[in-house]
Structure 1
Amino acid sequence: MVPRHRLSARPPMRGAIQPVTLAVVVIVAALAVAAWFLIIRPYQAAMSTQDAASAVASRPARTRDAPLANVDALSVDQLLTEARTAMNEQRLVAPKGNNAFEFYMKVLQKQPGNPVAADALRETFSYGAAATEQTINQRDFNEAQREIDLLAKADPENYTLTILRSKLDAQRKTLDREQQQAVDAQKAQQLAQQNAANAARQRAEEQAAEAQRQQAARDQAARVAQQQQAPKPATAAVPTRPAATESEAITDAVLVNQVKPRYPTAALRANQEGWVDVELTVGTDGAVSNVTVTDAQPRHVFDRSAIDAVSKWEFKPATRNGEPMAVTLRRRLQFNLGR
């Protein structure tokens, strides 16, 4: 019993590590590692990303859509950096000289078989094709053709190129058809306007002709009224003059100067033909008066021309027993084309 007591009462050796202290050390170390992975490392990564973004934003030498000044002078790493930046900014195949596909292809020129560039081109081909399809739909045909050619350099056997070329051709044909339809519509509008102008001009001419006919009728009525109001000749006032007998010698009025009627412009344009029956009075001096239309076919088309022409006719007056006398005659004027 005595030796056991002495063993338990032995003091701890100097320099020995107590279990509680060891546990505390382990816990502190674990907390430090956790703080590194959960706090410090993410913060450093965020700061690095922010610094990089600030550096990109503060570049004064080139805008987003401007091509690089000298792509051939860039190293492979620089080209990959530019390509990743273009990918992040959705510049897959455009603009020309400043897009991800051209940067990756330049990497393959400098370093054939570069896995990063080859994998990127293969994985993003469908996205580049989608961007090219959007360019086709916007009808920027020259840019769309350039993007298709760029995709063909990346993967010339891809069937998507056939689809894109077909869509580009269809859009071009659609645009040509729309432009042709616009031209046809413009021509149709011009033709309609010309026809309307011709119809308006024809109506104006017909209205003018009708106005002239009405004025001539009014003038003729005024002349008739004046003749009715004028004093009758002395021969007519003699009530004791005997009536004509069978022994009296009467000669008919003879036309000595016939003026041909003018063919109306509207009838000439419409290829119309017809005739006009007129009644006229030949005076003792052979002059024509009281010209009136008794019948016509078609009506009101050739009337004015017939009246104007007949009014200018000259006759050798009719006579009774050698003395001139006034007579009333009827004549038909034919209006025929080509005669």
Structure 2
Amino acid sequence: MDTRYLLDTRRHARGAIRPLVIAIIAIIGLLAVAAWFLIIKPHQELIMADSGGHPSTPVSAATRAAPPPPVNVAAMDVNQLLIEARTAMNQQRYLAPAGNNAFEFYLRVLVKDPGNKVASDALRETFPFAANSAEQSINSRDFNEAQRQIDLLAKADPTNFTLTILRSKLDAQRKTLDKEQQLALDQQKSQQQAAQKAAAEKLAADQLAEQQKAQAAEQQKERPTHSTQPAGQSAGTATKPAAGAEATAATGSATGGETSDAVLVKGAAPDYPPSALRAHESGWVVVSFSIRPDGKTDDIHVVDAQPRRVFDRAAMDTVRRYQFKPAMKDGVAVSTTRQLKIEFNL
């Protein structure tokens, strides 16, 4: 009987303790909530009201015309600096403009009064909004201003991890801009090279056309000289070559043979050697080559060049790409030899 009584007593005691524990926990929770609303939150709002801002106030994206900076900031006392800082906070001038922003005023306060709680609390509470301002400068690619703002944030809180993020973003944006500028420069350079190549192709074609015209003119001059009757011949003997010429002409006409010089049908622009391009070097090369019966060039070699061995390979490669209509003799394609001067100018 005694044992049963003790067990019943213990059960009743445990049942009575449980509601008491629950009630105590509920009271503690209510006290914590009341402390937040009645003590902690009013204290934070008081600090932010004193500094001219509020944690829930978003940073305005609109830029406002900043007032002129105060005169002789270095001579201001702590109270004057706090007044200027509050004004800057109200106008959301957290980090800019230089010399007239809240962070610089608060930092000056801490220089004069290292233990000033208003300044230190304001810097800590507004750090996220100031960091957002620095990020906007990065996104707008105002890199010098962004770097200045990051350095100012580092003076307020050098160990804040947000600084690492901002520095990484700034570095990434700088690299992106460098790549874009390099790409634009490469495109401009490619366009210039394409224009130079087109101009060189036109110049090479014009030079070749002029040389062909000059050779044709020389051949026209030589033909009458070969058929001229030698001095001192009689009229009777003069009729024989004429008859022979008529026979030859008749034979050529009968066979349908064609006699003509080689004609360029496809030119090529010389590729400027990279070393000469970097050195802004110009010059020329005289190339001798054969034109085969199939119209392709062969036996290409340099006759003269200025300067030596700078443009030789480029000139030979250019001639190697030429395509001709071959020279014809009595209707049969024959090989011919020609020289060409190729100029390299920037």
Mark the structure with the bigger radius of gyration: 1
TM-score (structure 1 length as normaliser): 0.49
